[in-house]
Every structure is written in C-alpha cells, then in structure tokens.
Amino acid sequence: FILSDTPRDGGYDVRIFTPAAEVPFAGHPTLGTAYIIRQEILRQPIRQVNLNLKVGQIPVRFDRQSDGRDILWMTPKEATFGEVLNIGELAPLLTIAGADIDTDFPIQSVSTGLPFILLPLRSLEAVRRAGVVRDKWLDWVRDRPAKMLFVFCRQTVDPANDIHARAFADYYGIVEDPATGSANSCFAAYLVKHRYLDTDQIDARVEQGYEIGRPSLIYLRARRSSERIEVNVGGKVVPIAKAELI
C-alpha cells in the first residue's frame, strides 16, 4: 500500500502484506511499487524513487537498457548472518534427502530485513524435488527469526543464467514464490561471503519460478570490502492488471 502521494524524508511511505501477514521488507513489491510511483504519481522519468518501509528507507534506481526497458535496482539494508544449521536438524523437515544437500557450503539464516534460511543443493534435480513438510516446518520455525526457505544450485535451465532457485514461504501464506527479491538480497550477500561462485564480487543472474510455471529472472550485484558487503538486486517490472475503486 502506498500511504501518500507526497514524499516524507525523501521517500514514499509504503506497507507490504502477504496473504497472511505484514512484512517489513520484500523485494519485488518494492520494485513494483517504485515503478507505479514513477508512472502514476510522479509521471516523469526520474532515475530514483525512495520507499520508506518498516525496515527503513530503500532506494530504487531505474537503469535504462538498450531494448528501451528499465532494470530496477534496489539497495537493501546490510545483510546480517545468523545461525548455521546442520543437515540432521533440517533434513526431516524437507521433501529431499540429506544427501541432496551441498555440504561444501553452509545452511545459514541470513537477513536484509526479512530473514531466510539459505539451503545449497547439489543438483537441479534436487531443487526440483525440494519442498517442506508443511506441519513439521511450521512447528519448527514458529519460534525462529527465519521462517522461509530458499534453495539453490549452480545447474540452471537456461545456460545464460548462473543460479537456479526456489523460495518457500508457507508461514506467510505463500506455498512457493516465483520471484523473491528479499531472499535474493540475502543470497547475494551469501554468495560473496562464502565465495559460492569462487569470487567476492558478483554480477549474476538467478532464475526462479520455473517449477510453478512462472519463470522469473533476478539480477544480483554484490561486492565484499574490508568493512561490509554491498548488495544490489534488480528486476524488470511488467504491468499485468489495472483496476479502479469507486
């Protein structure tokens, strides 16, 4: 929800809801809302829109491409790295076996405003079989900060992409999300911290949503310095519906 058509402290007040709850931050609603503010409220091609979310102010930049479309880039809050989980604890909650988990990298809770459990898997086939045992999962996450699962591997459907991923958010009323900017902002920081792509600076493409027939493409840029990890998450916005309340 956009709460005002005028900015406050340089940004527009916005609240984000899933079907089950309000969340302090979500990536693709952020990009879509910035797009609507520019198109419907400002009606001019400015290069940046700032949103005041529960997590704080998030800038969204518009980067025009050679095809005439914009990639919208958001800069999330700095990532915080939480607990590292073990396979024995997590495997009973999943629809895959412990052997499907890539043990070269940690299973870790990461947050840039909305925490996710990031789970590396060994293959595309394992990602396709992945899911949570709903009742066990909801009971396990009830008292944990991170309530959503993001699984990924380096095998992809499209060879032009770098990562294949899925996001599960049963706790928030979403069985599976086709494109999850908040998870990918955590993931971008994870990639460089743990050198998942053998580098501490990335410009990567993540494919998501294939398993539910809604393929999406998320762009990640991240760089690790001596002091922090800088992250930007991008995507393209496509209007799909318009309505009027009278």
Give the per-residue pLDDT at 138: 96
Identify the residue whose tokens are 């518009």. 62
State the average pLDDT over residues 90-102.
Answer: 96
* Statement to judge: residues 44 and 129 lie in one domain: no
Give the residue, 18 or 208, on which the prediction is more confident.
208
- Count how many domains the chain has: 2
| pLDDT confidence tier of residue 245, bands split at 50, 70 and 90 | confident
Answer yes or no: are the C-beta atoms of 232 and 78 closer than 8 Å: no
| Residue 137 exposed, middle or buried by CB count within 10 Å (0-12, 13-18, 19+) | buried
Check the CA dihedral 65-69-75-79 and report its sign. Answer: negative
Give the per-residue pLDDT at 240: 87
* Statement to judge: residues 212 and 109 lie in one domain: yes
**Single-letter code of the amino acid located at 43:** R
| pLDDT tens digits along 179-233 | 999 999 999 999 999 999 999 999 999 999 999 999 999 999 999 988 899 999 9
Q: Domain range spanning residue 25?
A: 12-75
* CATH number (domain holding residue 220): 3.10.310.10
* Statement to judge: residues 57 and 86 lie in one domain: no
> Is 240 contained in some domain?
no
State the average pLDDT over residues 224-245.
Answer: 91
| pLDDT confidence tier of residue 85, bands split at 50, 70 and 90 | very high
* Statement to judge: residues 71 and 121 lie in one domain: no
Q: What one-character-per-residue DSSP string does 96-131 give?
A: S-GGGB-TTS-EEEEESSS-EEEEEBS-HHHHHH--
> Is 3 contained in some domain?
no
> Is 245 contained in some domain?
no
* Statement to judge: residues 107 and 210 lie in one domain: yes
In whole angstroms, what is the distance from residue 12 CA to residue 49 CA? 8
